[in-house]
Structure 1
Amino acid sequence: MTKPANTQLTDARRGDARADRTTFLWTAAFIFAGMTVTILSAATELQRANSAFPVGKVVLYEITGFLSFLAMFPLIAWLVTRSTPGQHSWRQVIPVHLAASLGVVILHVSLFVLLRKALVPVFFGEPYFFTDNLARDFIYEYRKSVLAYGIVLFAITFGRELEQKRRELAAAREDAKKSHRLTLKCGGRSIFVDASDVIWAKSASNYVEVKTPGAEHLARATLASIERQLGDAGANAVRVHRSWIVNADYISRIEPTGEGDLKIEMKDGATVPGSRRYRGNLNLS
């Protein structure tokens, strides 16, 4: 039974939120790594120049910038929901995010300036002064922050796509258990194939060729995911090679080729290689 539209929407939003939490952690890790490199590099440069500028200020400036940008993550995620690359027209996506990036950078700069104005006097006993030329220094900050905005924008989009793929695979496995059929994504369409009709499946780069008595389908999937679906559907599927799965009911003949490998002839006329690694999956008695 198909879920009601409102339930599907709730599930999708939960999936996006779950994906965004993972993306946030990865974003924080990468920014932290970049911040650490910047601090160490700045410390080296100050030492080379025999500068009296305190390394502690560099640390404070980088940390406040780091935390201020991370605080923008929920806003960027919200903007991605409203205008998603790959789902909405690029004529919409580009202007929306160019305009949005300007607002996000203004908020980002405003937040780290406030933090520095509050913290610099406490730790260094002097006031914090941001700029004597606002236009120049805002452009400087915008150049840096807009790149980070774009990276996070596409990271969120990619993370949600991966989560959607995970949900689709889980739904396909659940359907396989109930209906004993495979769900294949072929050229943007979903094709349903009775598991018992699958003769063999072969890995083909990022795709899998699935052969049935009446057709051959090229599915966007991994061989492992097809193998799991076949198992869930109760098909007599056997992995005989790292790139091949066969339906044992369609095997007509098995011959050894030496050194433990096999040649498997199928009832449709195909010859399938069998490697010694998977030899134990076949009943050769």
Structure 2
Amino acid sequence: MMKANSVTESSDPRREDARADRLTFIWVAGFFIAFLIVDILSSMTEVARFRLDVDPAKVAIYEISSVLVILTLYWWIARAVTLATPGQHDWRYVTAIHALAIVVFSAIHIAAMVAIRKLAFLAVYGYPYIFTDSPAREFIYEFRKDTLTYCLIAFFIIFGRQLTQQRRELAAAREDAKKSHRLTLKCGGRSVFVAASDVIWAKSASNYVEVKTPTAQHLARATLGAIERQLSDAGANAARVHRSWIVNRDHISRIEPTGEGDVKIEMTDGAVIPGSRRYRDRLPVDG
């Protein structure tokens, strides 16, 4: 029973998303800190260029207070993405949830940012920070920027979760290859399982890989390296013979030299595949 519970917990998508969000936060924080440094330096350059009477410390307070609050609210955005994930929930629901979340995000960002600035001004200068004489104007000004910031962070979160899911699926496919000696191919919206011994050749095709068997030809969303690792895990007698090609050595019918160490490889299905001298040692010597 304990083992079953541990498996369930390890495969809990909420836990997986939380792990992905923590990693994504590091990237988001790095991005905003880099932006913060560039923005402060650019502002100081503008002050010097136009001989403006602006205290660089105030510029730093303005920018740091904003970024600090944004990073704190990262988890609010992650929660909103969980509640309404594009592609998983109805678009009208997604739009409504994120529209409301953006308003709340902006309101908290402005209020907290101003509070931090007031405290910083009292501590550094001894007098209060005045945010604006027109709250409506400044809210609209900040809201425009906050909307873009929210959308950018939400994109990072969604992308981070998808990347983590892809890595998890690749790991699961390799584990399955070791146990069942078959490949798991993502073809469109379905998974296709192919016996590793049936694979005749595989060819890189941009963001896809063509996988040929005696009965079919599959176009899988994968890298050639990922297919090569699955074949190796499955125990197939496969080898990379070109940067864009993998062949099953059990399906080679003839190897013909073309000069300068390159070869032509004829397969049992009639395909003629280029073999690079870089990978010549992976082919039968007497082929």
TM-score by length of 1: 0.95
1:118 and 2:119 equivalent? yes
The amino acid of 1:251's aligned partner reads I
Q: Report which stretch shifted further, 91-100 or 198-207.
A: 91-100
The amino acid of 1:120's aligned partner reads F
Query: In structure 2, what is the equivalent of residue 238 of structure 1?
Result: 239
Q: CA deviation at 1:10?
A: 4.6
- C-alpha distance in 1 between matches for 2:40 and 2:146: 17
1:282 and 2:286 equivalent? no
Q: Write out per-residue CA displacement over residues 113-134 of structure 1, whole angstroms, 9 at most, x where no aligned residue.
A: 1111111111112111112111
The residue correspondences of 1:147-226 to structure 2 (distance < 5 A) are 147-226=148-227
- C-alpha distance in 2 between matches for 1:201 and 1:106: 54
Cα–Cα, structure 1 residues 89 and 117, in superposed 2: closer, same or farther, change >3 Å?
Answer: same
Q: Report which stretch shifted further, 92-101 or 224-233.
A: 92-101
The amino acid of 1:223's aligned partner reads L
Secondary structure in structure 1 of the residue aligned to 2:131: coil
Q: CA deviation at 1:174?
A: 0.3
The amino acid of 2:88's aligned partner reads Q
Q: CA deviation at 1:99?
A: 1.5
The amino acid of 1:74's aligned partner reads W
- C-alpha distance in 2 between matches for 1:118 and 1:216: 66
Secondary structure in structure 2 of the residue aligned to 1:239: strand
Query: In structure 2, what is the equivalent of residue 252 of structure 1?
Result: 253
The amino acid of 1:266's aligned partner reads M
Please tell me the root mean square deviation across aligned C-alpha atoms, in Å: 1.6
- C-alpha distance in 2 between matches for 1:214 and 1:48: 71
Query: In structure 2, what is the equivalent of residue 100 of structure 1?
Result: 101
The percent of aligned pairs where both chains have the same amino acid is 61
Structure 2, unmatched stretches of 5+, are: none
- C-alpha distance in 2 between matches for 1:104 and 1:212: 53
The amino acid of 2:42's aligned partner reads S
The amino acid of 1:158's aligned partner reads F
Query: In structure 2, what is the equivalent of residue 71 of structure 1?
Result: 72
Query: In structure 2, what is the equivalent of residue 273 of structure 1?
Result: 274
Secondary structure in structure 2 of the residue aligned to 1:131: coil
Q: Write out per-residue CA displacement over residues 16-72 of structure 1, whole angstroms, 9 at most, x where no aligned residue.
A: 122212211111111112212221121122223323221100001111111010000
Q: Write out per-residue CA displacement over residues 247-279 of structure 1, whole angstroms, 9 at most, x where no aligned residue.
A: 100001001000110100011111111001111
Query: In structure 2, what is the equivalent of residue 143 of structure 1?
Result: 144
Q: CA deviation at 1:135?
A: 0.7
- C-alpha distance in 2 between matches for 1:29 and 1:196: 46
Q: CA deviation at 1:204?
A: 0.8
Q: CA deviation at 1:11?
A: 3.4
1:29 and 2:47 equivalent? no
Query: In structure 1, what is the equivalent of residue 133 of structure 2?
Result: 132
Structure 1, unmatched stretches of 5+, are: none
Q: Report which stretch shifted further, 10-19 or 190-199.
A: 10-19
The amino acid of 2:266's aligned partner reads E
- C-alpha distance in 1 between matches for 2:9 and 2:93: 26
Secondary structure in structure 2 of the residue aligned to 1:116: helix
Q: Write out per-residue CA displacement over residues 132-167 of structure 1, whole angstroms, 9 at most, x where no aligned residue.
A: 111100111111111010001111001100000000
TM-score by length of 2: 0.95
Secondary structure in structure 2 of the residue aligned to 1:125: coil
- C-alpha distance in 1 between matches for 2:85 and 2:73: 17
- C-alpha distance in 2 between matches for 1:11 and 1:253: 50
Secondary structure in structure 2 of the residue aligned to 1:234: coil
